[in-house]
Structure 1
Amino acid sequence: MSSFLHRLGAFVILVWLAVGLAACAGFVKGGDNRHNQPLSSTVVAGLKAMGSSPEAPMVVRIFKEEKTLEIWKKTNSGQFKLFKAYEICAFSGDIGPKFKEGDRQSPEGFYTITPGLMHPKSNYYLAFNTGFPNKFDRAHGRTGSDLMVHGDCSSRGCYAMTDAGIAEIYALARESFKGGNSSFQLQAFPFRMSAANMARYSQNQHIGFWKDIKEGYDLFEVTKTPPVWDVCEKQYIFNPASTGPLNALGPCPATIQNAALTAKQQADENAMSSYAAAEQKKEAEAEAVKARGEAVGSFFSGIGNMFGGGGQDPNIAPVISGKTAPKPMPPLRRS
């Protein structure tokens, strides 16, 4: 009997570990119709006002540090425009990419979301899979499964939204697919990739990876259209001049040049250098103030020693008798 209970306990532990490491997996059963909730009239009117529609292509952008998920929609101009920003309820881990199953990190990078990655029966109200690991992740041997954007405000490596938030995001994605779009792009970043933020994290261990994905971030910023991405030489490449899928480990082809991108990158490099120089100056000034304070303290300590204010000689022990001091004698009177 004890052997059976031991095996049962081990089985329960294994199940618990599997659930804990499987990120945000799990599905509900039954005829729940939450995945078919129509978009509100307010959302439809908002899309129309910006020159878009529920059926138009969309892009999702995620910023960890700012805890923000953005929905961008294609407009009649051909460019994408920000439709709405949602607060991310929770994500696990810290800024930085996901490396392996069970590290509870939320992924960063570029992902392609197809209808097959939508999860209408998720235990977390509604969800869609990020597609991790993508081509870049696999090239680096990164592992993980069931990394979702979902509701329920609880995360084990996923991006968790409120139920109301994911319901609207899910419906926007559903309608975009119904409009004939085969996929939408998910861009996940550690923070808004401004020159100031890049300078602030210039010594971070992930800075090389962040510089890599920043090019895709910059392209979207200057063109307001999602860049074409692929992987070669184990790095992201954006808007490659060649056609067809690339070998993730093979050489990279040329890219389609963009003057606005080049100008932005140069401006950001100059700004990052300025931020770095300013930070170095600030640190140098702080060190100088500290050194001056120490010098002034030493000077006055020396002055005190010259006039006997240097304190008791540590080699001379104070004499404490414990006796009451005698009363002073009255002054001598002279006639």
Structure 2
Amino acid sequence: MTVILRDRIDPPFITAPPRDINEIRARVTPQLQAEFAEAGLTYGAPVFMRIFKEERVLEFWVQNGHQFELFKTYGICNYSGALGPKLREGDWQSPEGFYFVPPGAMNPNSSYHLSFNLGFPNRFDHDAGRTGSFLMVHGDCVSVGCYAMTDAQIEEIYVIAEAAHTNGQPFFRVHAFPFRMTDDRLMKEQGTMWYAFWQNLKQGYDAFENTRNPPDVTVEDGRYVFG
């Protein structure tokens, strides 16, 4: 049985009816294939995304050989809350952490013009007692805890990710950070309540920076552990 993930619709936002995913694919795919070819990348290859709240960007990476290459950087149209993780249902805080998106988390019928579910709470969030549901990356540029893109952006992001799934990628990773986790930027947060949590996130950030491969992520003793 296929489970369709649907966004929670919260007033005062009024959303447009869902668009036809077949029409979107037919319209968007040829241009994306041309951009991939120009970049020397294979359309349908495995993908990986990084989100940075402070910079308001979503990076879209594509595997090329044994490493991932940056395909495009999208400006985030909207997100909710401040720097720091989501703690509880209804806090309108966009999550931070390491998430996995399988094909079943993709929603072409989203009221917010395409979406995929990040999978919050993951095991780390669950173990920490964090609650929430329907935390998405979607279109429509409105957010009640999600990362919202423009409709044109989410069409590209969704169609490329869908192609990777169709071509055999069992899930793609999304790493959501408060900011670009350089040593200098993190040092400015010493003494803040999330400093230890962000130090742990930085380990995953550094693992990708050093190898250009998203690390395997597990949870042990209330911390993320990176393979």
Task: Choose which of 228, 231, 241 in structure 1 pairs with 2:219.
Answer: 231
Task: Choose which of 151, 154, 162 in structure 1 pairs with 2:150.
Answer: 162
1:143 aligns to 2:146 (yes or no):
no
Output aligned runs, 1:260-279, within 5 Å. none
1:42 deviates by: 3.9
Equivalent-residue separation in structure 2 for 1:135 and 1:106 (angstroms) = 17
1:50 deviates by: 3.3
1:116-174: CA deviation from partner (whole Å, max 9, x where unpaired): 10010001011101110001000111100000000000000000000000000000101
1:54 deviates by: 1.6
Equivalent-residue separation in structure 2 for 1:52 and 1:19 (angstroms) = 37
The secondary structure found in structure 2 opposite 1:60 is: strand
| Moved segments of 4+, more than 3 Å | 18-21, 26-42
Instruction: Report the counterpart of residue 187 of structure 2 in structure 1.
Output: 199
Instruction: Report the counterpart of residue 50 of structure 2 in structure 1.
Output: 61
1:27 deviates by: 9.9
1:220 aligns to 2:203 (yes or no):
no
Instruction: Report the counterpart of residue 165 of structure 2 in structure 1.
Output: 177
Structure 1 range deviating more: 34-43 or 165-174: 34-43
Instruction: Report the counterpart of residue 187 of structure 1 in structure 2.
Output: 175
1:234 deviates by: 1.1
Equivalent-residue separation in structure 2 for 1:29 and 1:43 (angstroms) = 22
Instruction: Report the counterpart of residue 37 of structure 2 in structure 1.
Output: 48
Instruction: Report the counterpart of residue 82 of structure 1 in structure 2.
Output: 70
The one-letter code sitting in structure 1 at the alignment partner of 2:217 is W
1:26-71: CA deviation from partner (whole Å, max 9, x where unpaired): 9957966455345444432332233321210000100000000010
Q: 1:31 to 1:223 in 2, by over 3 A?
A: closer
Instruction: Report the counterpart of residue 299 of structure 1 in structure 2.
Output: none
Assess if the C-alpha contact under 8 Å between 1:130 and 1:147 holds in 2. yes
Equivalent-residue separation in structure 2 for 1:188 and 1:199 (angstroms) = 19
The one-letter code sitting in structure 2 at the alignment partner of 1:87 is G
* Greater strand fraction, Structure 1 or Structure 2: 2
1:19 deviates by: 4.8
Structure with bigger gyration radius:
1
Q: What are structure 2's unaligned runs of at least 5 residues? A: 1-7
Assess if the C-alpha contact under 8 Å between 2:18 and 2:112 holds in 1. no
The one-letter code sitting in structure 2 at the alignment partner of 1:62 is I
1:175-194: CA deviation from partner (whole Å, max 9, x where unpaired): 10111111100000000001
The secondary structure found in structure 2 opposite 1:156 is: coil
Assess if the C-alpha contact under 8 Å between 1:34 and 1:120 holds in 2. no
1:296-335: CA deviation from partner (whole Å, max 9, x where unpaired): xxxxxxxxxxxxxxxxxxxxxxxxxxxxxxxxxxxxxxxx
Equivalent-residue separation in structure 2 for 1:30 and 1:38 (angstroms) = 12
Aligned-residue CA RMSD (Å):
2.1
The secondary structure found in structure 2 opposite 1:173 is: helix
Q: 1:50 to 1:92 in 2, by over 3 A?
A: same
Instruction: Report the counterpart of residue 73 of structure 1 in structure 2.
Output: 62
The one-letter code sitting in structure 2 at the alignment partner of 1:207 is Y
The one-letter code sitting in structure 2 at the alignment partner of 1:105 is Q
- Equivalenced residue count is 218
The secondary structure found in structure 2 opposite 1:186 is: strand
The one-letter code sitting in structure 2 at the alignment partner of 1:198 is L
Instruction: Report the counterpart of residue 123 of structure 1 in structure 2.
Output: 111
Instruction: Report the counterpart of residue 104 of structure 1 in structure 2.
Output: 92
The secondary structure found in structure 2 opposite 1:83 is: strand
Equivalent-residue separation in structure 2 for 1:203 and 1:27 (angstroms) = 44
Equivalent-residue separation in structure 2 for 1:64 and 1:44 (angstroms) = 29
Equivalent-residue separation in structure 1 for 2:118 and 2:18 (angstroms) = 22
Q: 1:31 to 1:195 in 2, by over 3 A?
A: closer
User: TM-score normalised to the size of structure 2?
Assistant: 0.90
Equivalent-residue separation in structure 2 for 1:49 and 1:141 (angstroms) = 46
